[in-house]
Amino acid sequence: MTSLPPATDDRPRLDVAVVGLDPDRLRLIEIVFRHIRYNRFVFRLADPDRQHEASILIVGCVEAGGIDALALPHSGPQRRPAIAIVADGAASPSKYAVEASRLVRDLLPLLNRVVELEAVACAESPGQAGHAESAPVQIAPQDAGLLPVVPQDAYAGAGDPPGDDDRPCVLVIEDSPTVRSQLTGAFERMGLAVDTATCAREALARLQARRIDLAMLDLGLPDLDGLQLARLIRDEPRWRTLPIVALSGRTSPLDVVRGAAAGCDAYLGKPVGFGDLQRTVVGQLRRAIGTDALPAGLRAVPA
């Protein structure tokens, strides 16, 4: 199992202009962009004197005067999509928005989504012309409360669940029997197949033993730090595109950045609400295997 990154980086690249953000939030964006090793696009902060050429605009609407910058997308030869950074609970003046407290968690998947939905042109990357791929990363709204018991008929009308060999399979990597049981029950009621592992060693064995479509990774494992396990998974070529959803009680902006740097596609805090869990997992599976491969009851789950 190799630990070396790819020798070349041929991912499409996009320049992002940032206006009206305070230095601390700008620094967070710089950290996010620096640690997106496994994202399908490379985002870079545009040089101050070339911001008019950037493909996407991020506007800080928390600070005074930031909203005025939303007029900038209309000033060039082509309209640029704009992402507004707004105060928690505030209305957005833009089609796309991220609450300030969720900047680190939500900015990257939202940027991916903007590229997909707006057909944003990518800069030519080494070896190929950049282009948008077909399946956006979905934003997962927060739900409060503990993981509830889902009614047995929650997916009534979806038809009988297919056999384990046909259903998308989630690998739950969690050493707590209680949390493992809750997650397993939730995924089974979604119509997904479930496999489990209690430590990193078991997880790697399960990944080699069968087809896994998504890994739900607890970061507090007994034999290896969860982020180290994520890096091991990413360093193996056949698992490089496997969706990894981190689950942790540590949810500071720095923790979320570390998760992204280790190769995690999404980051959920404990305790996790059922709706947040479902939307995150369905969004990642849509990106990885496509909507048609999902159980019928999950195909209409909103982003």
Do 107 and 176 fall within a single domain? no
Answer whether 247's CB lies under 8 Å from 216's CB.
yes
What residues make up the domain containing 254? 169-298
Mean pLDDT of the chain: 77
Average pLDDT, integer, range 164-190:
89
Report pTM. Answer: 0.53
Residue entry with tokens 């942790």: 248
Do 209 and 275 fall within a single domain? yes
Burial of 205 (0-12, 13-18, 19+ CB in 10 A): exposed
Q: What is the pLDDT of residue 24?
A: 85
The answer as to whether 242 is a domain residue is yes
Buried b (16+ CB within 10 A) or exposed e, 153-190: eebeeeeebeeeeebbbbbbbbbeeebbebbbebbebb
Listed range (44-48, 50-54, 66-70, 201-205) with the worst mean pLDDT: 66-70
The answer as to whether 194 is a domain residue is yes
Do 103 and 180 fall within a single domain? no
Domain edge (last residue) among 51, 84, 118: 118
Do 112 and 175 fall within a single domain? no
The answer as to whether 265 is a domain residue is yes
The answer as to whether 147 is a domain residue is no
Torsion of CA 129, 242, 85, 13, to 10 degrees: -10
User: For residue 235, is pLDDT > 60?
Assistant: yes
The residues pairing with 197 across neighbouring beta strands, listed in sequence order, are 173
The answer as to whether 136 is a domain residue is no
Alpha-carbon span 136 to 116, nearest angstrom: 6
CATH of residue 61:
3.40.50.2300
The answer as to whether 144 is a domain residue is no
User: For residue 265, is pLDDT > 70?
Assistant: yes
Domain edge (last residue) among 98, 118, 138: 118
Answer whether 187's CB lies under 8 Å from 194's CB.
yes
Do 89 and 175 fall within a single domain? no
The answer as to whether 303 is a domain residue is no
Domain edge (last residue) among 56, 85, 118: 118
Answer whether 83's CB lies under 8 Å from 109's CB.
no
Do 215 and 101 fall within a single domain? no
The answer as to whether 232 is a domain residue is yes
14: enclosing H helix or E strand = strand 13-19
Report the number of distinct structural domains present in the chain. Answer: 2
Alpha-carbon span 193 to 186, nearest angstrom: 11
Do 289 and 204 fall within a single domain? yes
Alpha-carbon span 217 to 235, nearest angstrom: 16
Please, which residues have CB within 8 angstroms of residue 71's CB and are 6 or more apart in sequence? none
Please, which residues have CB within 8 angstroms of residue 209's CB and are 6 or more apart in sequence? none
